Chain A
Amino acid sequence: MKTATADNLTALLVEWREGDQAALDRLMPLVYDQLRRIAHRYVQREREGHTLQTSALVNEAYLRLADQQVVWQNRAHFFAVTARVMRHILIDHARRRRYAKHGGEARQVPLEEASTMSLERAAELIALEEALAELAKLDQRKSQVVELRYFGGLSLEETAEVLHISLMTVRRDWRAAKAWLYRSLRDSE
């Protein structure tokens, strides 16, 4: 099994930043593993009546994956990857969930997995994904803001850091994107 080391994380982040999409594919499993652990904590704390900031958890995942040897600028890229992975996992899951409902036989969804997401939620996520893809065509940056905030759990400040834009711009992008997506989802119902 693969183990995330600071070295390969850094290298992969750099490669990805430099445009190597294959690097993202190799980053995914590393990040996915961390995300699952984050989720575990999330659920555990939730059961215990605590609320945890997703952002804090993602930061923690980074710290654990990376360590101080990693060049700090890469943090932003890590967040971006996290958000992308999270989005990928959830949407994929939602699609399979819906597929299972429609009687697909190609892949049996195990009971316990299927039961983790309601059909309503799956439909909502798929609609959101489709709207987000539309938004990306019009305004790439806004769709990134949403990806980072909603799927990556980043704060406004962190989103600004990742995208190298001002906090004000993030706020404005966010509210416009929220209005656009909400309208789109409402209309698709």
Chain B
Amino acid sequence: MNSLRWQEIETVLQDALDRPPLERASFIEDVCAGDDELKTEATTLIAAYEEAGDFIEQPALARDAHVLLGEVVDGAGREIGPYRIVERLGAGGMGEVYLAHDTRLSRLVALKLLPVYFASDEARLRRFQSEARAASALNHPNILTIYEVGEHDGVYFIATEFIDGKTLGELMKAQELSLAEILNCIEQVASALGVAHAAGIVHRDIKPDNIMRRHDGLMKILDFGIAKLLETQTPDDLYETAAVRTHTEAGLVLGTVNYMSPEQARGLAVDERTDIWSLGVVLYEMLAKRLPFTGATRMDTMVAILDREPARLAEVAHEHLASAPVLQTILDKCLCKEISDRYRHVGELLADLKTAREQIAGLARSVVETPSSSWLPRRWVSPVIGIVLLLAIAVAGTVIYNRSVAGRLPDEFRAVESRATKLYSQMNERERLDFVAEQEQRISSMMGERSVKLDEKAIRVIKAHVDWYAARVGSSDNAETSATTATYERAVPYVPLIARSFAARKVPVIIGIYLPVIESAYKPCYESPLGAKGLYQFLPSTAQIYGVSRDEMCDAEKMTAAAAHYVADHMAELGEDAQSVTLVLISYNRGAQWVRDSLRKVRGTNNYSRDFWTLLANRDALDEPFRTETARYVPSFFAAAIVGENPQVFGLRIAPLSTLAEPGS
């Protein structure tokens, strides 16, 4: 067979395939009359096609991914930067752990390789890195020392001190622990937690597998801050939330839920008292040799955590209780469902653990009725809190940072217009139409008073997005709401700066607001309390083109000016009209070339009235990246802008967009 003959055959094959199966044979018979070879070829190919089923329909990778992994999951001898793997120690929810030799310092380290699942999510990775660095600053004999957090050739790793010992989980299985030993373990862990908490770091995943005992009896807490990786915090993450939840429910990432606090089980914010709860569970387990909260499924366990009281020590560990009656009080104060009734900090717990030790030793003067309440002398509390806050702001906590921003909002942004409007989702059809008309007007004015006429399809798109946004933001108090709120709040202090800078370049201020809001949501600011990195996520090379050096990337003033300059350039290039404004927003992320290409496509469709919503309404004509990425969050911004007129409804502390400076003002 040659190419020409094949073309002939293919023509018959294609024509036959275009016909219903039952007609194919007779079609081939007709068309191949007198050419038996052609007929045989076509017939056998048709038969093959009909038989083929899902032959090669699944990409090879689906079957053969394992082949590619042959060299990934290997062990001994593999080198990761300066570390040479000696042997595999085990695997946890957070990755494989290897014993490795640090060739620079000639010492053994435990090398944890992060699962690719985590490493592929940049926001998560940054969070992890900042958390791990914060944790590595903790210097306490009972906290596993982190030597290095790094990446080599795409593999993310944490090198820590190598502990020759057993995890508490292994220890409990392997041997009987005396009450004195149990208390000693818990005290060591608690005192390490105290140091971490004072530095603003919550472990979040205290459990026997994360606690080790060295052969000399020294306890070590592992994996500080790492559990935070598993949480979704940024709006960008929300799109993955379902997947993450599935993981969680399936028990594949989070592992056990037995040590989870009620607030964790409910998905609420956690603080140091979560660690206290979990440590209480560990203590209970060590004393009673059974878990306080269990269930047949993870769900049942969580229900038990939320609703049930564990069996009293008198029933499950009366011999321990007899030696140290304060134990029940300790457990009660650790395992209070209500977070505010729990020990406020580990200092209080440590004091009671000391009492327990004294009771065992027969030194107790009497049974302590009220557990001691302070771990630090009162006069120290205030400065300590101050230092903790500073540390937390400087080092890690996005959450704490957000709170502090809320506290220093400029007065003009505190006073927001409290016009009582209904939520979009609560409006009737008539009100919705009016609302959309009003928004049309507003979008026009946002776009610099140029007329924007929305077609019906675009209006439907707007409505859908506003509904989506309102439902998400207006729904009950959950992580999603607080993420959105936090994002806005983070941008707000910079609004005057943005307004000045953008107005000076005759760029609509609204874009200036958009960029920090969306960009910081997209890649939250972890590293700088100034927030500039969160405000404008320039790539270093782009930033440099606009005169911002790497060192200056945390300087909000410089970055804002650069962003205004960057946007002005794009607008000049794309043309100064409503369309270009919306497209600048998109090009900011996708690149100008992509915008040009997309426009070319969408111009081929009807009803393109030159604005973002119609662009979105016509997204079928656009590229995959638009549908999967930009189309998600650019509209949320517009939806947010629309509902932003009445921010209090959504708990957003942001000035009505219409009152912000207009270009040139």
Contacts and interface: CB of A to CB of B under 8 A. Distances in A.
B415 interface: no
Given A40-B72, A157-B624, A182-B49, A121 B115 contact: no
B62 interface: yes
Contact of B61 (A33, A121, A153): A153
8 contacts: A1-B152, A33-B154, A38-B65, A44-B117, A48-B247, A68-B589, A90-B60, A179-B49
B252 A151 contact: no
Interface string A103-133: 0000000001100110001000100100000
B420 interface: no
A68 B56 contact: no
Given A41-B117, A73-B593, 7 more contacts: A39-B65, A39-B68, A46-B65, A57-B61, A90-B60, A150-B60, A151-B60
Interface stretch (A8-16, A17-25, A170-178): A170-178
Interface string B232-256: 0000000000010011001010000
Contacts of B52: 178-179, 182
Given A36-B71, A64-B120, A172-B14, A43 B66 contact: yes
B117 A37 contact: no
A93 interface: yes
B166 to A, nearest CB: 28
Given A178-B52, A179-B49, A139 B3 contact: yes
A50 B243 contact: yes
A73 B66 CA distance: 31
Given A48-B247, A68-B539, A158-B624, A180 B59 contact: no
A36 to B, nearest CB: 5
A80 interface: no
Contacts of B67: 39, 89-90, 93, 116-117
A100 to B, nearest CB: 13
Given A36-B71, A40-B116, A183 B153 contact: no
A50 B246 CA distance: 9
Interface string B154-196: 1000000000000000000000000000000000000000000
Nearest to B57: A178
Interface string B595-616: 0010000000000000000000
B338 interface: no
B74 interface: yes
Given A178-B52, A183-B44, A40 B61 contact: no
Contact of B69 (A90, A116, A186): A116
Interface in A75-95: 86-87, 89-90, 93
B72 A36 contact: yes
A128 B71 CA distance: 24
A103 to B, nearest CB: 21
A99 interface: no
Contacts of A49: 250
B154 A146 contact: no
Max count, chain A CB within 10 A of own CB: residue among B1, B55, B65, B152: B65
A35 interface: yes
B484 to A, nearest CB: 25
A27 interface: no
Contacts of B62: 42, 54, 153
Contacts of B61: 38-39, 42, 54, 57, 86, 153
Given A90-B64, A121-B63, A178-B52, A40 B69 contact: yes
Interface of A is mostly: helix
Nearest to A55: B59
Nearest to A53: B59
A69 interface: yes
B286 to A, nearest CB: 32
B509 to A, nearest CB: 25
Q: Output the residue of A54, A172, A178 with the most chain B CB within 10 A.
A: A178
Nearest to A134: B1
A36 B67 CA distance: 9
Given A178-B55, A179-B52, A44 B153 contact: no
In the complex, which range does the number of interface residues on chain B fall in? 35 or more
A93 B63 CA distance: 14
B85 to A, nearest CB: 15
B563 interface: no
Nearest to A138: B6
Most buried by B among A125, A152, A172, A182: A182
B65 A179 contact: no
Contacts of A67: 539
A84 B336 CA distance: 59
A158 B130 CA distance: 37
A80 to B, nearest CB: 15
A71 B3 contact: no
A48 B250 contact: yes
A8 B65 CA distance: 27
Interface string B131-162: 00000000000000000000011100000000
A43 B49 contact: no
B14 A176 contact: yes
Nearest to A39: B68
Interface in B1-39: 1-3, 6, 10, 13-14, 17
B664 interface: no
B250 to A, nearest CB: 6
Interface in B381-433: none
Contacts of A98: none
A180 B45 contact: yes
Contacts of B65: 38-40, 42-43, 46
Contact of B59 (A128, A153, A183): A153
Given A36-B72, A182-B52, A121 B539 contact: no
Contacts of A64: 120
A179 B47 CA distance: 8
B496 interface: no
Given A42-B62, A179-B52, A182-B51, A36 B68 contact: yes
A39 B46 CA distance: 35
Contacts of A69: 539, 541-542
A88 to B, nearest CB: 12
A101 to B, nearest CB: 16
Interface string A59-70: 110001001110
B66 A117 contact: yes
Given A151-B60, A178-B55, A112 B49 contact: no
B593 A71 contact: yes
A33 B115 contact: no
A139 B2 CA distance: 9
A48 B247 CA distance: 8
Nearest to B629: A63
B39 to A, nearest CB: 15
A49 B247 CA distance: 9
B591 interface: yes
B594 interface: yes
Contacts of B64: 90, 93, 117, 121, 125
B90 interface: no
A39 B591 contact: no
A42 B59 CA distance: 12
Contacts of A128: 56
A138 B3 contact: yes
Contacts of A158: 624
A138 B70 contact: no
A3 B594 CA distance: 26
A137 B64 CA distance: 27
A38 B64 CA distance: 12
